[in-house]
């Protein structure tokens, strides 16, 4: 079954996909950071939400 793009949260709450606009919007609001800050953190520590949370000091 295809991804349902009407869902506003992440498909997998343990991973961050900065290439999907709805996930980027969700995670930036969740962590209270800019899209560039989120992308930089994902590039630095990987896609696991727990690692990004720790890197961002949240």
How do residues 1-58 score in pLDDT, each as one tens digit? 455 556 566 667 889 999 999 999 999 999 999 999 999 999 999 999 999 999 999 7
pTM of the model: 0.79
Alpha-carbon span 31 to 6, nearest angstrom: 21
Task: Return d(Cα 12, Cα 34) in angstroms, integer.
Answer: 21
């Amino acid at each position: 079954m295809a991804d349902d793009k009407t869902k506003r949260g992440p498909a997998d709450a343990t991973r961050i996909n900065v290439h999907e606009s709805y996930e980027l919007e969700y995670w930036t609001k969740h962590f209270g950071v800019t899209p560039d800050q989120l992308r930089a953190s994902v590039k630095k520590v990987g896609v696991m939400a727990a690692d990004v949370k720790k890197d961002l000091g949240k």
